[in-house]
Structure 1
C-alpha cells in the first residue's frame, strides 16, 4: 500500500470522536456545547463524569496506538509512522465535525507508545514531572510534546523524531488559546477552577 493510503487510514481512525460518542451514549449532552467545546477527555471531565473522561482518554490514546500497530503489521515501520501522524491529524481536524476536533495530547501519547514505547513512556514521565512542578495541565502537555522530537533524536529514532515534530506543531497550534493564557498568567492550575 502507498504511503498516502496509510496516512488516510490513520486519519480516518483518528477522526472517530470518542468523546462525543461516549457523552451521547451516557446522556450527558452534546460535548461541543459543554465547557471549551473540545472533544477530548479534559472537556468530558467537565460533565462531572470521571468514568466517561477516563474512557475517552483511553480510547483517544488507543486509536493512535491501533493505527500505528495495524500499519506496522501490514506495511512496516514507515507505514506505522505515517498512520500515527495521520491519526493525530484526524483527531485534531476530523472531517465529520467540520475539522473542529480535540487538542491531540492523548492521541499523541498513544501514538508514541506504539511507535517506540521507551519514547512514549519518556513523554508521559515528562508530562507528570511538569505537572508536579507547575500544576498546569496544558503547560505540562506542551513541555512533553515539545521535547519529544529531541528525545526521539537522542534515542536514535530519526523518522519518529520527524513525525513527532509534525505532531508537536499540530498540538501547539491547537493549544493557541492556552498559550495566550499561559503568557497572561491566567491559565488555570490543576484541581482549580477558572
Structure 2
C-alpha cells in the first residue's frame, strides 16, 4: 500500500494545482456575463470582486466553486490516509493554482476562500476564532480586507499550539502567500 501511495503523490499534486486553477469567479462571469472579471472592479478573479461587479449570485457561485475545488483534493488526501505533511502540500498546491492559474496567464484570485476552505477541512476548530476576529475587527472599523487577513491568523496559531508543526508551517506559508497576493498591487506600482 505504501508503494501505491508514492505513485499517487505526483498525480495528486498536479490534480490539486489543476483544481486550484478552476477559478469560480472567472468561469461564472465569463460564461454567464460574457465578461472577464480580471478586467473589472479590482481586476482580480476572486469571489469578492465577482460579488462587487456582478452581485450576490456571482459571489456565492464563486465561493461555492472555490470551496469545492479545495475540498476535493484535500478529501482525497485524507481518504488515502496521507500524512499531515502531504495534506499541507495539497492545500498549498490548490492555493498556488488559484492565485497563479496557468490557463489565465497566472492572474487569478487572492486566495482567501481557498485558505478558509483548507481551514474548514484541516483545522475547523480555527473557524470560530476567525469569525470572532473578523467581527471584532469590523466593530473596530478595520478595513474589510485587513479584517479578513487578520481572520486568517488563528489556523497556524492553533496548529502550533496543538504541536502540529508541519501543518502549522504550511498554513503560515499559505498565509504569507495570501498576504502577498493582497499586497501585490502595491509591489506593481
Q: CA deviation at 1:30?
A: 1.4
Aligned ranges 1:60-79 → 2 under 5 Å: 60-78=66-84, 79=86
Secondary structure, counterpart of 1:43 in structure 2? helix
Aligned residues: 180
Q: For residues 157 and 177 of structure 2, what CA distance do their matches in structure 1 show?
A: 16
Aligned ranges 1:63-142 → 2 under 5 Å: 63-78=69-84, 79-142=86-149
Aligned-CA RMSD value = 2.2
Secondary structure, counterpart of 2:92 in structure 1? helix
2:51 paired with 1:31: no
In 2 relative to 1, CA 121–14 (structure 1 residues): closer, same or farther, beyond 3 Å? Answer: farther
In 2 relative to 1, CA 131–102 (structure 1 residues): closer, same or farther, beyond 3 Å? Answer: same
Under a length normalisation based on structure 2, what TM-score does the superposition of the two structures give?
0.84
In 2 relative to 1, CA 11–35 (structure 1 residues): closer, same or farther, beyond 3 Å? Answer: same
Q: CA deviation at 1:20?
A: 1.1
5+ long unaligned stretches in structure 2: none
* Partner residue, 2:12: 6
Q: For residues 186 and 141 of structure 2, what CA distance do their matches in structure 1 show?
A: 14
Aligned mate of 2:21, from 15, 26, 29? 15
Q: For residues 186 and 127 of structure 2, what CA distance do their matches in structure 1 show?
A: 23
5+ long unaligned stretches in structure 1: 181-194
Q: For residues 132 and 22 of structure 1, what CA distance do their matches in structure 2 show?
A: 32
Q: CA deviation at 1:5?
A: 4.0
Under a length normalisation based on structure 1, what TM-score does the superposition of the two structures give?
0.82
* Partner residue, 1:187: none
Q: For residues 7 and 132 of structure 1, what CA distance do their matches in structure 2 show?
A: 40
Contact kept, 8 Å, 1:62 with 1:107, in 2: the verdict is no
Q: Please say which of residues 27-36 and 97-106 is displaced more in the overlay.
A: 27-36
The CA deviation string for residues 142-192 of structure 1, in whole angstroms up to 9 with x for no partner, is 212244322221233222211101101110110115779xxxxxxxxxxxx
